[in-house]
Each structure stands twice: as structure tokens, then as C-alpha cells.
């Protein structure tokens, strides 16, 4: 019996060791995030793979990504300098090994995205992205950079449609994320402005608008991208908003400018985190189901929340696990976006005495929130033990 136990332990230890030594794909932070230790370990593992085959483009992409994220998550300046050097070394070494390949142009394009303020650097970076796309047009890795190119620097509706249709067909965005994007667009009134804050609350919305012509009337503006003066003022001009000049205008100033000059257009924010809590606008945000509507005058948002949840939103993906995503952590995090609206919906049903709807809503809230760090706070908000 003892010998058998020892044998099982040895087998499990060997399996665990093998799993630890096998390199894993280092995906974008928009899909999954790991610890600093995980990224540094992947750097070492992928470096070994490259020693076996210096022409392995996927290995070079993963090595560069691991170095970049190790730099990003490094805890002190000395460590950041070390990883910045390693990142630069990857660029030098891969240029000798895989020049002219998709991986080569993909890595150069991503690296160059840091220096887009310089026009010459920007054009070089765009050309890298276009060459990568020419070599592998069905690879979704380049679609974000290309959407930025045709949305901001070389505005082209037909190219935006082409990239959006290919991005949709690739399946790169999970059904959960695409449904969230649909609901966010449905949560707005006609010809409104929707301010977003990240990749996953911008690109899937653009894909829906350009690939399917779904709610193209909504002006989806990413708060980081509209810090680019030429792009910002082109968008402003389309809606009659005065220009806001300057290279380094603060995001808070841009938001206040939009709020002041938006005219008849309703203004929405994908989440409250886009606005600083000490901003004068923060207290003027009202949840309307999934996103937040800006209003200078107080208004009762309960009717809007009920209307959107009962008549507008697609909700099967928050009620049932009908699809097993590759990115479960990502999907779970996005599902939390529904909780503020659902909590208000629960309180509404409690107030009017609709027991069946209240219980149904509670079940969804618990389903979404049970594994989150906010679960106890959620129960307190609902006055539940």
C-alpha cells in the first residue's frame, strides 16, 4: 500500500513538473492576466523553444509578449530596466532569425505602437501592420491595430467594414463579450455619444457597427483614443462640438468639454471608472441597465432599467452556462457589469411586491456575483444574509 502511494506521488509529481515546464501561449491582457512570476517563467520556457528552432515565429511572439508583460508588471525601476533590455534584445535577435515573416512584422508593429505621436514612426508602424495583414489576413492579432489605422489615421469606412467582418468571423470575441456589446449599444438612445475606456468595451462595439450595421447611429468614442487631437476634432466637428486644441489635454478636460457642448446628444459612459470620483461629473451618472447616462438634472432611472432588462437586453448568457469559453475569467469579469442594474431591478420588484420577478433577479445576481470579491457587499446591498 505504501509503495503504491509513493508511486502515485511520483507520477503526479512528474505530471506537475511537466506541466510547469511546458510553455503556454502568452495572450493579450485583454483576454487573460497572470502573475509576474508566470510571465517571467514563460519567458524562460519560450527562450528554450527558440534555441530548438530559431525560425519558430509563434515562439518569438510569445517570448516578446512575456518580456513585455514582465516589464509591465515589474515591481521596481531596476527590474523594469532589466526587462526593457530583454525586450529590446528580443527585437534584435528575432530580426536576424525571422525577418520578413508575419511574426516579425507583428512584433515590430506592437512594439511601435508606443511611439504613435511621432508621425514618421506612426507611418512605419502602420506599414508593419499592413505587411503582417497581407501575409496572414485571417489572423485576428492585427485587427485592433488596423481598426485604429482606418478609424483614426487613414479614415476608410470600407476598410473598417472589411476588418470588422473578418474579426467577427474569427471568433476572437467570445459570445458573452459580443452579447455584452449588443446590450451596451441597445442601452443608448438614438444618435447618442458612448464613451468607452478599453479594448473590450470599444472594439466589439465597432465590430457590431461596421460588420453588421448594428446601431451605427451611436458615436462610440474611446477616451484614450480621443486624446489624439486630429482624431478628436474630426469627431467633434461631425457633431458640432467646438475644437479642443492641444497635444496633452487631460482626459477629464475632454470629458467636461463634451458634456458642456454635446447639444441634443445624450451622453453615456460604459462604466463609472472612466470618470474620476472627484470629478464634478461623477455624481451626475445614472445607471440605466448596463451603462451610465450623464444628466445634469436628477431623474428616476428605475423605469429605464426595468425597460431595458425586460424588453431590450439579451440575457440568456447570464442565466445559463450554455457556452464554455476559452476565456472564462474574462467573461466572468464582464458579466459583473450587469450587477449594478440588476441590484436596482431587484429593489424595484421588491418595492412593487413582484415576488416571482424578485426571486428570478436574485438568482441571476447570485449566479454572477457568488465568485466575485464583492459578494458579501452585494448581499448587504440586498439586505440578505
Q: What would you report as the CA-atom Rg of the chain, rounded to the nearest whole angstrom?
A: 24
pLDDT at 385: 67
Burial tier of 251 (Cβ tally within 10 Å: 0-12, 13-18, 19+): middle
Q: Where are the domains of the chain?
A: 23-167, 173-381
Span 276-332, pLDDT tens digits: 887 889 999 999 999 999 999 998 899 999 999 999 999 999 998 888 888 888 898
Among the residues of the chain, which ranges form H helices? 2-21, 36-52, 57-73, 77-97, 102-112, 119-135, 143-148, 157-170, 175-186, 203-212, 229-238, 251-261, 302-307, 316-319, 328-335, 339-352, 355-369, 375-381
- Is beta strand 219-222 parallel, antiparallel or unpaired with respect to 292-294? unpaired
pLDDT at 282: 93
- Is beta strand 292-294 parallel, antiparallel or unpaired with respect to 285-287? antiparallel
pLDDT at 352 over 60: yes
Average pLDDT over all residues of the chain: 92
What architecture is domain 23-167? Answer: Alpha Horseshoe (1.25)
CA distance 269 to 195: 5
pLDDT at 329: 86
Of the candidates 225, 205, 203, the one whose C-alpha atom is nearest the C-alpha of residue 217 is 205
Of the candidates 366, 311, 316, 324, the one whose C-alpha atom is nearest the C-alpha of residue 342 is 366
User: pTM higher than 0.85 for the full model?
Assistant: yes
238 Rama sector, left if φ>0, alpha if ψ -120 to 50, beta otherwise: alpha
pLDDT at 246: 81
How would residue 112 be classed by pLDDT, with cut points 50, 70 and 90? confident
> C-alpha cell of 362?
436574485
Q: What is the mean pLDDT of residues 120-141?
A: 95
Span 167-215, pLDDT tens digits: 999 999 999 999 999 999 999 999 999 999 999 999 999 999 999 999 9
Amino acid at each position: 500500500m505504501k509503495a503504491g502511494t509513493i508511486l502515485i506521488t511520483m507520477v503526479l509529481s512528474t505530471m506537475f513538473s511537466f506541466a510547469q515546464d511546458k510553455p503556454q501561449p502568452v495572450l493579450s491582457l485583454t483576454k487573460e492576466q497572470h502573475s509576474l512570476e508566470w510571465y517571467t517563467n514563460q519567458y524562460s520556457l519560450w527562450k528554450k523553444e527558440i534555441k530548438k528552432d530559431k525560425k519558430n515565429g509563434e515562439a518569438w511572439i510569445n517570448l516578446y509578449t512575456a518580456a513585455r508583460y514582465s516589464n509591465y508588471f515589474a515591481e521596481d525601476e531596476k527590474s523594469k530596466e532589466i526587462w526593457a533590455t530583454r525586450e529590446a534584445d528580443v527585437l534584435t535577435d528575432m530580426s536576424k532569425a525571422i525577418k520578413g515573416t508575419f511574426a516579425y512584422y507583428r512584433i515590430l508593429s506592437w512594439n511601435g505602437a508606443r511611439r504613435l505621436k511621432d508621425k514618421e514612426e506612426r507611418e512605419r508602424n502602420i506599414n508593419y501592420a499592413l505587411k503582417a495583414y497581407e501575409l496572414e489576413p485571417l489572423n485576428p492579432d492585427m485587427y485592433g491595430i488596423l481598426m485604429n489605422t482606418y478609424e483614426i489615421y487613414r479614415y476608410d469606412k470600407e476598410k473598417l467594414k472589411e476588418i470588422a467582418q473578418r474579426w467577427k468571423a474569427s471568433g476572437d470575441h467570445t459570445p458573452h463579450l459580443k452579447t455584452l456589446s449588443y446590450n451596451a449599444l441597445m442601452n443608448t438612445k438614438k444618435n447618442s455619444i458612448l464613451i468607452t475606456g478599453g479594448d473590450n468595451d470599444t472594439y466589439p462595439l465597432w465590430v457590431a457597427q461596421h460588420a453588421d450595421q448594428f446601431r451605427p447611429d451611436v458615436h462610440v468614442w474611446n477616451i484614450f483614443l480621443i486624446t489624439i487631437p486630429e482624431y478628436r476634432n474630426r469627431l467633434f466637428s461631425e457633431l458640432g462640438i467646438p475644437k479642443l486644441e492641444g497635444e496633452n489635454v487631460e482626459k477629464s478636460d475632454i470629458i467636461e468639454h463634451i458634456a458642456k457642448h454635446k447639444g441634443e446628444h445624450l451622453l453615456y459612459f460604459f462604466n463609472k471608472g472612466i470618470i474620476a470620483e472627484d470629478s464634478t461629473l461623477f455624481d451626475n451618472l445614472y445607471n440605466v441597465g448596463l451603462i451610465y447616462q450623464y444628466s445634469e438634472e436628477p431623474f428616476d432611472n428605475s423605469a429605464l432599467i426595468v425597460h431595458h432588462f425586460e424588453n431590450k437586453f439579451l440575457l440568456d448568457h447570464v442565466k445559463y452556462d450554455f457556452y464554455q469559453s476559452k476565456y472564462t475569467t474574462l467573461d466572468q469579469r464582464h458579466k459583473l457589469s450587469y450587477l449594478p442594474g440588476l441590484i436596482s431591478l431587484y429593489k424595484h420588484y421588491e418595492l412593487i411586491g413582484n415576488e416571482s420577478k424578485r426571486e428570478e433577479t436574485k438568482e441571476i445576481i447570485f449566479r454572477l456575483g457568488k465568485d466575485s470579491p464583492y459578494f458579501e457587499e452585494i448581499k448587504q446591498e440586498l439586505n440578505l444574509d
